[in-house]
Structure formats: structure tokens, C-alpha cells
Structure 1
Amino acid sequence: MDKKPEKLVPEVRFKGFTDDWEQRKLSSIAHQTFGGGTPSKSNKQFWNGDFPWIQSSDLAEDTIRGVHPNKFITQNALQISAAKKIPKNSIAIVSRVGVGKVALIPFNYSTSQDFLSLSGLKINSQFATYSIHKIMKKTASQLQGTSIKGITKKDILNKAIIFPISGKEQVHISSLLKYVDYIISLQQRKLEFLKEIKKGLLQKMFADKSKFPILRFEGFHNEWEQRKLKNVYQKIGNAFVGTASPYYVDAGHFYLESNNIKNGQINRNHEVFINNSFYQKQSNKLLHTGDLVMVQSGHVGDTAVITQEYNNSAAHALIMFRNPKDKFLSDYLNFYFQNTSAKNKINVLAIGNTIRHVLASDMSRFSVYFPNKDERKYISNLLLKLQYTITLQQSKISQLTILKKYLLQKLFI
């Protein structure tokens, strides 16, 4: 007896929908397809018009929520160049540089030659966009590590899309994902707003040669004092700078490196561990809670404060500022080194033609303007609270992104 074919249904469905899903090629769900083209950039009659011309960089990597054109062409370009007028509510699919990017375009547009656009869809356009997004992300992951730079129009149109026969089910699925995307977008705007606030405070809350900051807490009026870093830390010097790879192990003592220092914080995006014997040899250079570390070469000048989690850590190729003379020094300096003025001063000190680096001896003589202890505490606490809020916001966006990924996996076949 022949085995019945397996039903095409997703793992998770909305209540009330029981019909099978249908599988068809992308070529069969679009009434029209459009390629793209780039008008001659030397012809001024083609550019600075009012018709959107989209390139891959105008689409975000991780979202299909929209597109923000940065270039516009003229009607003349549409008539006599390779650019084509594509009707609104078409799906733009990146086929070369940036494979995996997909967007539903709500306005008439044109594209570079790196796109294939599908128009006049026979299924819900928003559902189709999410489904194609999932298909192209999988394609992009398969292309990674190969010499292939893109995917042909024929191969895209031969891709199979599986969709519910019920138009209502298509709308339910796409509406849920559109809402999640909307929430992610709002949270990302909030994150950018918080980062702008932090950037503004970093530029205005630290004094320069005038000895007074632009923005100040009420009740503080005295001019700031210039001091060298060697006068506020008991020890400033290099962490281990030799080859450490022979001592790497799969599990052991976490080894703090420059890759772990970014945006004023320590991250574990890249982890290296060293064996106990090598760790013990660095016992006189271990970092403790409240110390400050600075990246010495590469992205010179990035700093982070050693928290309780990293107490007694060994470090590699970092400048270590150890044993601060009061509690809020390292937090204060960590934020100070994130402002533009401080970064420029460090760049002046950096040496080397290929890999720029800064010397611990130069940083020991590095001068900073300090307020009194109480004002330093106020500044540090404000910026710490703001940074904590930014971190929470980033975590919220990560959780929403994971939710979206889960829904794409469970609601689609």
C-alpha cells in the first residue's frame, strides 16, 4: 500500500486554520519580475532627481521592515539608461552583494543590478516577503565561505515557497511578524536616542583647558585640577605582551584580551583561556576590582573597568591602571576616555605605521582634568546609570530578535 504524502503544515499554527499549505516556485507567484541597472554616474542628467534608486546598502542586514533610499535618479535616467521603474508593493531581493536582504517597497522605485524584484504577487505580499526573507537568509548562509558572490535570477525564481492556501492565514502570520518588527523598530529608536544622550553628555560633562565643563551639576563651581595618571594610580604598566597561544586551553583561567574591550565594557564575545601554570606566572600582574584597562594596539584607547566578575584576571596586550587612589576614579576615567577630545589626544600619542599602538609610559604621563571627589562621584553615577539603561535596552532588542527568529522558524515551512 502506497504511503500517503506528508502534509505541508508548519509546526505552529493559529487556532482555526487546518488547511494544507501549497508549494510553488517563486516564478509562479509573481506576475512580473524586474532586474535593475545603474545609470552612468558621469552623466549629470541622470542623477539628483526625485525617483528613488536603491542599492544593497540601503537595506538593513537583519530586518525586512523597510528601506531608506540615499540616491535619486531623473525621469531621463528611467527612459534611456539601464534603470527600470518598478511598481510599489514589489519585493526587492538582493541577488549579489548582500545576499539575504529582502524588502517590501511601498513606493515606486528602481534598483542597481544587484537586485531582482517581484511584482504583482498572487499571495499576500507581506507574507511572501517574510517567507522569501527566510529562504534568502538560508541561501546566504550556504554561500558563506565559497567564492560565489551571488545568486542568479533563474536560481531565485526556482526557489520553492510554501504558503497557506487561506489568505486569512497568510494575513494572520504576516500581521504578527509585522507587529514584532514594529516593536523592534521602536526599541531600536529608543536605543539610538539613549546613545545620543550619552554621546552628548560625554562631550559636555568633562572639562578641557578652560578647567570648567560645559554642563555641570548644581552646587559645583570650582575649577578642575589637571593631574597626570601616574599620580592617581599606584601602578601603570603593560600586561603580558609575548606569545600566549602555547598556553591556551579549552577551559581554565579566562584571559582578558583587547577583543574583550569595547564601548567602555568587557564582553565575552571572544573567549580565551590559559592553563594554571601560565596564570600563576602572572600573579604579580593580576587585575583587581576597580582597576582600569586600555587597549594598547589596534583599536587604541578603548577602556573598561574591572568589575567583581573579573577580579584576579590575567590580561594580554593591555595597559593596566591598577590600584586607583579612590573608588570612582576608574569609572570617571572610563567615561572620559570615551569622549572625542580624549580619543583625539590618545591618537596623537599613538605610534607605528602598520599597527598603531600607545606606550604605557606615555599614558602614565597623560594629563586629565579632574573635579573634586564628590563631583566625580555624581558624574560617574549618572553615566553608570545611563550605561546600565543602554545595556538593558540592548538586551530587550536581543530578546525580541530571538522571538522573531523563533516565529520565522515555527510559523513557516
Structure 2
Amino acid sequence: MSNKEERKAPVLRFKGFTDDWEQRKLDDTITHKSGTSIEKYFSSKGLYKVISIGSYGSNGKYIDQGIRAAANEKTNSHLIKKGELSMVLNDKTGGKIIGRVLLIEKNNQYVVNQRSEIIKLSTSLWDPQFAFTYLNGPFRKKVLRIMQGGTQNYVNFSSVKKLTASLTSVKEQKEIGTLFQKLDNIIILQQRKLKELQQVKQTLSQFLLNGNTHTRPTLRLNGFEDIWKENKLKDIAKISMGQSPSSNNYNKKGNGKILIQGNADIDNGGIRPRVWTTEITKLANKNDILLTVRAPVGELAITNREVVIGRGIAAIKGNKFIYNLLVQKNKEHFWDRISSGSTFKSISSNDIKQLKVYIPSEKEETLIASVLETIKNKIDFQNERINVINKLKKYLLTNLFI
């Protein structure tokens, strides 16, 4: 059938399962209890971890905000047990977390604050891991449709429990739940590896490049002992400030050249094409370094093609070593310290040109850039690996459920 809602079974099935899935109101498959206001029982020495709005991660994992609550009659009455779920009903992030659920893995560890609902599953109808995946996935799309509010979004659980849930046998649920549990564990492992690589790059950058504040960096590559020479950026790189074309000449159809105006057009050290312009004002060439000069100041990219740069961008003709120096400057919040303006921070052409940097020999420069580029490539590969797994998970969420 063309309408997914009319299907009685998912596109993909585990071997041996052929029965149609049931449509049941959520309220017929659970019991539930609202969280309660327990702020006055918060204590740094409290026994229980608190589940509140900020506890719900986008990956379905508990975010420990360090909030604890003391044990007493009220908090004990709102403990959530192993195998139960909590659902967040309020959201100040524009709907990013509303309707998400946490699956509790231990007894007597968590107490549920207001604006969350405790959900106890019927064990004859639900496998907890399946419920966790389903409620965070296909079912949450239904919750988002009944979301209300403006600045602060909310849903009433009285409306949520009237929504229809698609259920199969608990035996099939266990197969599906186990698969997604394994996928989630793989994603967590790969994200941990990514974080470790990012920390390695950050540490190496800091120690290999702090010649930009000292004549000798903390860490030297083998065979290099010469002091680094002081320069102004204008003396080692050509700098061009952008100029914005008329908005009458903008388009999103790919006519003309890509326009880079600011941070919104930069992504992970590269450019993100959003707007094109048929009016050519100032150009940046392929492999130029792009630096944002208006809030947020100091973001960087290397362009992979010729682009037009607006007044929020400066183009710098420099090598990968210069690029890494500027990245390190930004991490040290250098541009934030010298930027001007009360509402919108900015830096001037002169601020960039007069930037003091320390430069090693060309050979050491090349080797440092090569080391950092190798780690960046590993980080990019790890990011791509995570993206592939997330795409697989998205595909399975679409095709293993109805």
C-alpha cells in the first residue's frame, strides 16, 4: 500500500515472523505517573540522581547534570524502577528533546522531577528495549505533531497516551530491540573514538603551535632546534576583505558563484554552499583561508573553489601551517579579546594584518602541517563512519517499524 499508516507489517522482518502488527492506544498498554516538583529537596549529598528537562540526551542517554535529591517520603514515591521509562513533556530547545524517553537500567537510582512522565510498560505487550527505540523513533514523530507552545514547547501526557502505538509480539520486539541496542553501543564506541582523536589533535596543536606566542614551541619534531621568527601576518600572507553584493543578485538555484558571507556558510573547516550571486564583488581563490570578521569572529575554512566573499569574511592567501596557527588562535579566544562592538563583535582589516605570529623554517612548517593534517583526516574518516552508522539506523527505524 502506498500509505505507510495502512501497512499491517513493516517492510523488513526477522526470519520466522509473519503476523500482522497490532494498533493499540498507548494508554491501553501502560500505566503512568507524573513527575513532581522536588527542587526543595535538591542536595549535593542527595541519594538520588534527578531526571529533569536537561537530563534527556539526543541519543536517548541520561545527561548527568550533577543534580541530586535527598531521600524522603516524597522523593521515594517518585523513584523510577528498572525497565520503566521517563518521557520529557516540556522543551526550551525548539522541540529537540520533547517526547524523548530514557530507559532505566537500575532500581533506586533516579527520581523524576516535574515535566516528565513515568511510564510502566505492560510486560505482556512490551519489551523495554523495543519500547525505548520505538518511543524515541516512530512514535515520537506523532508526539511532535501534538506539540504546543511558542518559546517553551510542551505536550500533555493526557494527549500522548491517546496516540496509537504499533505493536508486534514480545518475541519479535526482543529481536528488534536487541539489534538497536547493539547499534547504539557501536555508535557510542565510535563517538568515544572520535572524541579521543579530537583531544589528541587539540593537544598536539597546542604544543606544536605555541610558537605563535613563544619563539620555541613546547613540543618540537625531531631534528628542529632553531628559534621561530616573529612576523606580522600581512608580511607573510596576502589579506583581502570581503564586499557584499546587492541582495537583488542573490539566488539559491546555483546561478553565478557561491557567496560566503559568514559563519553560516562555513562547515567543519570547509564551505557550505547556501546562496549564489551573479554580482562579483570580491573573490577568494581555491585553497584560500576564509576568516569570519563579524560575530562570531574567528571561524575558519579553506575554500575548495573560487567564491565571492561578503563583508563578514576576509580571505587570506596562506598555507596549511598558517591555517592551523589561526585555528589555534581562535581556540585561545584571541579574536574575542580584541574584537570591538557592543552588540555585534567584529575585527578590522588592520587587526588581521597586524597579527603577530611566529614562523619556523619552511621544512618544520611543512612537517607540522602534515602531522596535523593526518590527524584531521582520521577525524574526518571517523565522522564519516559515524554518519554511515546513523544512516543505517535511520533506514532500519523506517523499515523495521510501522
- Normalising by structure 1, we get a TM-score of 0.86
Q: How does 1:53-132 map to 2 (within 5 A)?
A: 53-61=50-58, 63-68=59-64, 70-76=66-72, 79-80=73-74, 84-97=78-91, 98-108=97-107, 109-122=110-123, 123-132=126-135
Is residue 2:227 matched to residue 1:228? no
Give the distance between the partners of 2:76 and 2:82, measured in 1 at CA: 19
Give CA deviations for 1:349-382 in whole Å, capped at 9, x if unaligned: 2000000000011110111111111111011111
Partner-residue secondary structure (3-state), 1:240? coil
In the TM superposition, what whole-angstrom CA distance separates every residue of 1:369-401 from its partner, at most 9, and x where no partner exists?
A: 111111110111111111111112111111211
Q: Which of 160, 169, 172 pairs up with 2:172? A: 169
Provide the identity percentage: 26
8 Å contact from structure 2 (residues 284, 307) kept in 1: yes
* 1:128–1:182 distance in 2 versus 1, CA, 3 Å: same
* Contact 2:250 2:275 (C-alpha < 8 Å) held by counterparts: yes
CA drift of 1:119 comes to 1.6
SS in 1 for 2:333: helix
Shift of 1:185: 0.9
Matched, 1:11 2:28: no
Of residues 114-123 and 169-178 in structure 1, the stretch that sits farther from structure 2 once superposed is 114-123
1:149 aligns with 2:138: no
Looking at structure 1, the residues matched to 400 and 331 of structure 2 have their Cα atoms a distance apart, in angstroms, of 50
Determine helix, strand or coil for the equivalent of 1:16.
coil
Cα 1:376/1:92, change in 2 over 3 Å: same
Q: Secondary structure at the match of 1:193?
A: helix
> Where in structure 1 do 4 or more consecutive aligned residues deviate above 6 Å?
none
Aligned length: 383
Structure 2 spans left out of the alignment, 5+ residues: 1-5, 92-96
The verdict on how the C-alpha distance between 1:262 and 1:214 changes in structure 2, with shifts beyond 3 A counting, is: farther
Deviation at 1:305, TM superposition (A): 2.1
- In 2, Cα distance between equivalents of 1:50 and 1:22: 41
Alpha-carbon displacement from aligned partner over 1:156-213 (angstroms, at most 9, x marks no partner) = 2112111112x22111111111111111111111111111111111211111543111
Aligned to 2:299: 302
- Relative to structure 2, which stretch is displaced further, 145-154 or 97-106? 145-154
Residue number in structure 2 paired with 1:339: 328
Q: Contact 1:293 / 1:318 at 8 angstroms: preserved in 2?
A: no
- Match 1:407 to one of 393, 396, 399: 396
Cα RMSD of the aligned pairs, angstroms, is 2.3
Q: Distance in 1 between matches of 2:331 and 2:133?
A: 45
User: Is contact 1:288–1:313 with CA below 8 Å preserved after alignment?
Assistant: yes
Which sits farther off after the overlay, 50-59 or 348-357?
50-59
Distance, in Å, in 1 between the alignment partners of 2:247 and 2:375 is: 37
The residue identity in structure 2 corresponding to 1:350 is: S
Structure 1 match to 2:32: 33
Q: Which residue of 1 aligns with 2:46?
A: 49
Measured in 2, the distance between the counterparts of 1:197 and 1:143 equals 44
TM (normalized to structure 2)? Answer: 0.88
Distance 1:114 1:130 in 2: 21
